[in-house]
Amino acid sequence: MGLVVAKFGGSSVADAASIRRVAKRVVDTKKAGNDVVVVVSAMGDTTDELLDLAHQVSANPPGREMDMLLTSGERISMALLAMAINDLGMEARSYTGSQAGLITDSSHGKARIVDVTPDRIQQAISENAIPIIAGFQGVARETKDITTLGRGGSDLTAVAIACALQADVCEIYTDVDGIFSADPRIAPKARQVPRITYDEMMELAAAGAKVLHLRCVEYAKRFNLPIHVRSSFSEKEGTFVIADLADQSQLVKLSKQGAVMEQPIIAGVAHDLGDAKITVVGVPDRPGMAAAIFQAIADSGVNMDMIVQNVSASGATATDLSFTVPRADAAKAELQLRKIQADLQFKDVETDENIAKVSLVGAGMRSHPGVSATFFKAIAAAGVNVEMISTSEIRISVVIRAEDAKTCVEAVHSAFGLDADGEAVVYGGTGR
């Protein structure tokens, strides 16, 4: 048919039996007449285990060494998968990200791809071998050191390679049947969507739906590459991520389902348990305060998301400024704020890690009144208290208590009529 880039996530290659199952699947795709390039993640929870190990030997592991350590996870699975495929009578050759031509900048732990030069991959394809590429990693152009692309970055490797090779599709194999209207792990009534636009998937990914890495969707959008998210545990057709739901042109050979003529109002509900809320208490109410505070956060290299300013509980001439940051960066942000506390004369800094962000995403929100009203009514009826609110053109997000996340997601999901009749299947993985 053409060229398929297939990425298998950690849960799909978690043990020897799974690796053999994936090998069979790859060989079948090849036998069906396709050229196949495979990208693999580390086995199961290997990356988390390596991270834990690093923190047991060092309080502050250098980025270079951390990347060297973490990339070993993908090297294990790539070699094992190549062995299993060779056993089935087809030639497979494994390549590190560096060997596959994934060239990045030198920012360890969150490197950006600056070039993709897949000569060796093309060579292997032309010799009828199946290249197996270690996901999540590259090599820095300047320093020649090994880098990683950020957690979940194997999705990005797969899409970048697929774009460079002008593949027909990038298949992302995972432990659920496709993209659902909510995370099936916390909302069993989530419904699989047959198609979703790049824009909606980007909002869902940014709002915490880790089924696809945000940067991989951005990258695919730029090259108009269709992504097919599906399960490695079933043969079912999954979900296609494309530019325009009504445009069937790229999908005629890939999908049995017809075009979606009318854009659904809501694409899905996402939740994120990875943020913390920082409140700067008792900020003197004068111009320039917010600018100085946010400059300090920017200087520490921390990204922030939602922002709320309130009259301070500590007095009417002061305000409290709250914002959210990734939980892993909260301590760094707080430290930075302490440094400017005496200068700016605010009273205190509080960090609250016990929060969740719940977001409703849908391109139809633009043209349908009443979406916010239904959203907030559903949350109120579930007895959940809203602490912060933010919106984009196609998203509404709230910050709530972490323990209310499941209740809130399910309430919103039901209120928009998204509940499926049956229960969504989660085939494997720990969701870690």
Q: Which residues bind ligand ASP (CB under 6 A)?
A: 9-10, 41-42, 47, 73, 135-136, 151-155
Pattern 56-95, binding to ligand ADP, x per CB under 6 A?
----------------------------------------
Nearer to ligand ADP, 96 or 174 (CB): 174
Does the footprint of ligand ADP cover residue 176 (CB under 6 A)?
Answer: yes
Binding flag, residue 185, ligand ADP (CB under 6 A):
yes
Look up residue 207 and give its two tokens.
Answer: 């709002």
- 276 CB-side CA count, 13 A: 17
Look-up: residue for tokens 């809320």?
277
Strands (DSSP E) contained in 192-333 are 195-197, 227-231, 239-242, 268-272, 275-284, 307-311, 318-326
Cβ(318)–Cβ(239) under 8 Å?
A: no
Under a CB-based contact definition with an 8 Å cutoff, are residues 339 and 288 in contact? no
Binding-residue pattern over the window 29 to 48 for ligand ADP, x denoting contact by CB under 6 A: ------------x-------
- Compute the distance between CA of residue 171 and CA of residue 226 in angstroms, rounded to an integer: 9
Closest approach of ligand ASP to the CB of residue 79, in Å:
15
Which one of ligand ADP, Mg ion, ligand ASP, none is in contact with 274 (Cβ closer than 5 to 8 A by kind)? none
73 scored as a contact of Mg ion (CB under 5 A): no
Q: How far is the CB of 215 from ligand ASP (least distance, A)?
A: 11
Question: Are 279 and 321 contacting, i.e. CB atoms less than 8 angstroms apart?
Answer: yes
Structure tokens at 190: 């989530």
Choosing from 35, 74, 183, 203, the residue that interacts with ligand ADP (CB under 6 A) is: 183
Q: How many residues bind ligand ADP (CB under 6 A)?
A: 22
C-alpha distances (whole Å) from 160 to each of 4, 75, 125 are: 13, 18, 17
Our CB check for Mg ion shows the closer of 132 and 296 to be 132
Q: How many CB atoms lie within 10 A of CB 248?
A: 16
Binding piece for ligand ADP, criterion CB under 6 A, among 168-176, 216-224, 254-262, 293-301: 168-176
CB of 369 to ligand ADP, least distance (A): 25
Q: Which does 198 bind (CB under 5 to 8 A by kind): Mg ion, ligand ADP, ligand ASP, none?
A: none
Q: Determine, following the binding rule CB under 6 A, whether residue 180 of this chain makes contact with ligand ADP.
A: yes
Cα–Cα distance, 137 to 141 (Å, whole number): 13
Smaller CB separation from ligand ASP, 134 or 186:
134
User: Per rule CB under 5 A, is residue 152 in the interface with Mg ion?
Assistant: yes
Sheet holding 227-231, edge to edge: 92-95, 130-134, 35-40, 3-8, 169-174, 227-231, 239-242, 195-197
Residues engaged in binding ligand ADP (CB under 6 A): 9-11, 41, 152, 174-176, 179-180, 182-185, 204, 209-211, 268, 426, 429, 431
